[in-house]
């Protein structure tokens, strides 16, 4: 039988009524407390940013990646961030469902990566389930965009500012709007 952490990461519904939920919430709160500490660190002190991100992620943030605090993150262990990424300030990562960020990814300020959703049944609305977000290499996500649970942003794609991504984005494509729609293919 899976424990609540395994159920959560596998995308199964988890509820505050089941055994282990308090341990999950405790781990989330610990992550959020570390993120609060991160928000007090100077953007110029990337050494300290990387130390705290290592604590949040449970693994090393690549030295070649720059992250500008604050970062609002609920759970970092299922989050993987690649090499040479640049993540602007005031982003929100709901990482419980898993987030994979490739190499050379630019993430603008106030971007939301949301992997968690609630049960549609109003009698069970406090239950949640996750869906992994994948952002492939060389993607650019514009300011104040939101990527919803389970979506994949393909290689080299651009998500325009203020967009809400509700469907997978094909490689080398520019999308924008709410919901995000294809604007054009990138031709090199």
pLDDT tens sequence across 12-59: 999 999 999 999 999 999 999 999 999 999 999 999 999 999 999 999
The pTM score is 0.95
With bands split at pLDDT 50, 70 and 90, how would you rate the model's confidence at 60? very high
Q: Which of 60, 83, 118, 185 is catalytic?
A: 118
118 is catalytic: yes
DSSP letter at 169 equals B
Task: Give φ, ψ of 9 to 5 degrees.
Answer: -70, -30
């Amino acid at each position: 039988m899976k424990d609540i952490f395994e159920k959560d990461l596998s995308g199964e519904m988890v509820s505050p009524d089941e055994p282990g939920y308090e341990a999950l919430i405790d781990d989330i709160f610990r992550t959020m407390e570390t993120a609060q500490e991160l928000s007090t660190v100077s953007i110029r002190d990337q050494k300290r940013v990387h130390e705290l991100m290592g604590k949040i992620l449970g693994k090393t943030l690549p030295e070649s990646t720059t992250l500008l605090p604050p970062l609002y993150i609920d759970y970092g262990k299922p989050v993987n961030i690649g090499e040479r990424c640049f993540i602007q300030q005031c982003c929100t990562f709901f990482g419980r469902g898993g987030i994979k960020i490739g190499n050379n990814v630019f993430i603008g300020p106030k971007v939301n990566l949301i992997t968690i959703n609630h049960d549609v049944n109003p009698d069970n609305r406090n239950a949640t389930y996750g869906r992994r977000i994948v952002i492939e290499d060389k993607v650019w996500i514009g300011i104040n965009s939101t990527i919803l649970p389970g979506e994949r942003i393909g290689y080299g794609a651009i998500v325009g500012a203020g967009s809400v991504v509700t469907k997978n984005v094909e490689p080398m494509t520019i999308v924008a709007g709410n919901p995000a729609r294809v604007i054009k293919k990138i031709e090199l």
